Amino acid sequence: VSSPDIIQAVRWSDDGRGVRIVDQRALPDRYAERDLRSADAVCDAIATLAVRGAPAIGIAGAMGLVVAAGEAGGRSRPEFDAALAALAARIRRTRPTAVNLSWAIDRLLAAAAAVVGAPAVVLDAMRAEADAILEEDRAMCRRIGECGLPLVHDGARVLTHCNAGALATGGMGTALAPVYLAAREGRRVSVWADETRPLLQGSRLTAWELARAGIPVTVLADNMAASLMRAGEVDLVLVGADRIAANGDVANKIGTYGLAVLARHHGIPFYVAAPSSTFDPATPDGDAIAIEQRDPDEVRNAFGRRTAPADVPAHNPAFDVTPAALVTAIVSDRALHHPPYDFGRRPRGEGRRPNP
């Protein structure tokens, strides 16, 4: 078994003057990298989901702000500061609900404000801060992989949902990190990837990145997971999380809750893997989490082809909530957390980094 070749979703261009992304709009039809070399290109890529996944969006936004601000590098410091503020606001607006994006932009603005001197010096500080965000994310993913590694035994058949992989982060992903590390350790591991309607991140992205890394993966329609479990074909379920309440209730991509119920019925362990920044001490339980309702046309269409009558209502919640009682353990970058969960207090000195 060779070490898995894990895709790097966001990095600097070879000449350091652009942000190189894997264009996720083109997948799975074709693999395309794009260099974002202007504010326009950065904003377009984020707005059109060429880059997606909370951590990856934050990283691309931070690196993109460095690239965009570089265009004003020859101006006076006051002019540069004004341009930077405008660019930051503009990038932030591309995904207004992406808390990670705002968080990353804020970090770069703070780094810039802390520097006295010419724009070139400010740009160096911003680039260092963007590098730090990327490296912190890579380290976070690796630590999730290490904390979750004991869950993925040799021969494990893992069922996952949506994409919580390398394509969503700067590193090896969250839910997929223990899978990649297990493969790197030489364990034989295979993955069942739910296609994850309506936007099909599982079949389009998870299947693609795992196959590229040489990890056996099989796609299934979401409604096929139950009979696979009954047939004894699933050893564990491993999914990501968008937010984890203080009591351990988990908000994640729609369909996650159903998998948790099915796993419990079949005696299969159900694990959630997510950065500790996903823990939300201010949210006591899942009932306090508002569920975003998305455009019904995402359900009434697939790839622009109509799948349901246009005048029939469609239900399209983005997330569901899995009660903590159905979660066997939660893997974070800090630990493998077992119930009863208590994420009600932040560790000292650590700010919350929300993952919308």
325's tokens = 């009682």
How far apart, in whole angstroms, are the C-alpha atoms of residue 90 and residue 163?
27
Q: Which of 304, 319, 298, 314 is nearest to 198 (CA)?
A: 298
Q: Kindly state the smallest distance separating residue 106's Cβ from its own copies, in Å.
A: 33
| 325 is an interface residue for its own copies by CB under 8 A | no
Q: Which of 28, 63, 69 is nearest to 45 (CA)?
A: 63
| 312 is an interface residue for its own copies by CB under 8 A | yes
252 with 272: CB under 8 angstroms?
yes
| 26 is an interface residue for its own copies by CB under 8 A | no
Q: Which of 276, 250, 244, 274 is nearest to 263 (CA)?
A: 250
Question: Exactly one of 54, 123, 167, 207 binds its own copies (CB under 8 A); which one?
Answer: 207
Of the residues 242, 280, 320, 333, only one is catalytic, namely 242
Residues 32-71 that bind its own copies (CB under 8 A): none
| 293 is an interface residue for its own copies by CB under 8 A | no
Question: Exactly one of 86, 109, 118, 314 binds its own copies (CB under 8 A); which one?
Answer: 314
Q: Kindly state the smallest distance separating residue 212's Cβ from its own copies, in Å.
A: 9
Q: Kindly state the smallest distance separating residue 306's Cβ from its own copies, in Å.
A: 6
Let me know if 287 is a catalytic residue: no
108's tokens = 């770069």
| 220 is an interface residue for its own copies by CB under 8 A | yes
Q: Is 117 exposed, middle or buried (0-12, 13-18, 19+ CB in 10 A)?
A: exposed
What is 44-67 written as a DSSP string? HHHHTTSS-SHHHHHHHHHHHHHH
106 with 353: CB under 8 angstroms?
no
User: What is the x/- site pattern for its own copies, positions 156-185, by CB under 8 A?
Assistant: -----x------------------------
Choose between 309 and 351: whose C-beta lies nearer to its own copies. Answer: 309
DSSP 317: B
Q: Kindly state the smallest distance separating residue 303's Cβ from its own copies, in Å.
A: 4
Q: Kindly state the smallest distance separating residue 168's Cβ from its own copies, in Å.
A: 17
Choose between 41 and 321: whose C-beta lies nearer to its own copies. Answer: 321
How far apart, in whole angstroms, are the C-alpha atoms of residue 214 and residue 153?
18
172 with 141: CB under 8 angstroms?
yes
Choose between 93 and 306: whose C-beta lies nearer to its own copies. Answer: 306
Question: Exactly one of 14, 97, 116, 303 binds its own copies (CB under 8 A); which one?
Answer: 303
Given the DSSP bridges, would you call strands 301-302 and 279-280 parallel, antiparallel or unpaired? unpaired
Choose between 83 and 241: whose C-beta lies nearer to its own copies. Answer: 241
How far apart, in whole angstroms, are the C-alpha atoms of residue 197 and residue 208?
16
Packing angle between helix 99-113 and helix 77-93, nearest 10 degrees?
Answer: 170
| 249 is an interface residue for its own copies by CB under 8 A | no
Choose between 116 and 312: whose C-beta lies nearer to its own copies. Answer: 312
Taking CA atoms, 225 is separated from 174, 208, 254, 258, 260, in Å, by: 21, 19, 14, 10, 11
Give how many residues touch its own copies by CB under 8 A.
Answer: 56
Sign of the CA dihedral running 331, 333, 339, 343: negative
Q: Kindly state the smallest distance separating residue 191's Cβ from its own copies, in Å.
A: 10
Q: Which residues pair with 336 in a beta bridge?
A: 331
Q: Which stretch binds its own copies (CB under 8 A): 40-48, 143-151, 171-179, 254-262?
A: 254-262
Question: Exactly one of 146, 228, 328, 344 binds its own copies (CB under 8 A); which one?
Answer: 228
Q: Which stretch binds its own copies (CB under 8 A): 100-108, 135-143, 148-156, 215-223?
A: 215-223
- Catalytic site positions: 242
Which residues make up the interface to its own copies (CB under 8 A)? Answer: 28-29, 161, 192, 194-198, 200, 203-204, 207-208, 211, 217-228, 230, 254-255, 257-258, 261-262, 264-265, 299-300, 302-317, 320-321
